[in-house]
Amino acid sequence: MDKRWILIIIILIIGVSCLFFIVDSSNNIGKATSELKGYIITIPSSMNIETSEGGTLVLVNRNAAEKIVIEISDKGNFTDEIYDRELVKLNNREDVADIQNTTVVIDKDKMPTLFYKDENGTFNQISILYKYKHTFTIKSINYKDNNTLNNDAESIVESLTIDYKQKHD
């Protein structure tokens, strides 16, 4: 064989290796994504899209009755207002027990979060995230396992990116 063919084979092996590492490290190649008012969210592997209208995206796991509702508010930081409103709603509900408020930090993003259990003993969470000059509310409902709840919420926050193909304010 000529030396040129050996060089071509080496370049092809390096190229295929690079593509493997790109696909392996990406959090949305090979996974389903959804658009939410100019932002892209990678859907957790166990979830399906139930509805996507306006500023609300509803994801559901039909096997376990788990649900995630993601809402985006207008431009601005409304974290405190939304947090206070959701806390009052939870305090007024009779089927809610054991409300815990904490701040969760994921990739330098601080999220005020309300964890609570309902009368069925399922885990629920309301997180408010200020990112890209907008406030996102992430409600995780009817989880039987707290680790699954945390993993799904974390994957959504980590995958939230701007859709550069659309106009932004």
Burial of 151: CB neighbours in 10 Å, binned 0-12, 13-18, 19+: middle
Q: For residue range 98-135, what is the model confidence (pLDDT) as tens digits?
A: 888 888 888 788 889 999 998 888 999 999 999 888 99
Question: Which stretches does DSSP call E strand in the chain?
Answer: 33-36, 39-42, 48-53, 56-61, 66-75, 96-106, 109-118, 123-131, 134-143, 161-162
The reported pLDDT for the residue numbered 98 is 83
The reported pLDDT for the residue numbered 25 is 66
Evaluate if pTM is beyond 0.85.
no
Distance CA 127, CA 96 (A): 17
Q: Which 8-state DSSP code applies to residue 78?
A: -
Beta bridge partners of 162: 39
Q: For residue range 2-55, what is the model confidence (pLDDT) as tens digits?
A: 788 889 999 999 999 988 877 776 655 667 778 888 888 888 888 889 988 888
The reported pLDDT for the residue numbered 28 is 58
Residues 6 or more apart in contact with residue 70 via CB below 8 angstroms: 36, 41, 56, 57, 58, 59, 136, 137, 138, 139, 156
Residues 6 or more apart in contact with residue 80 via CB below 8 angstroms: none
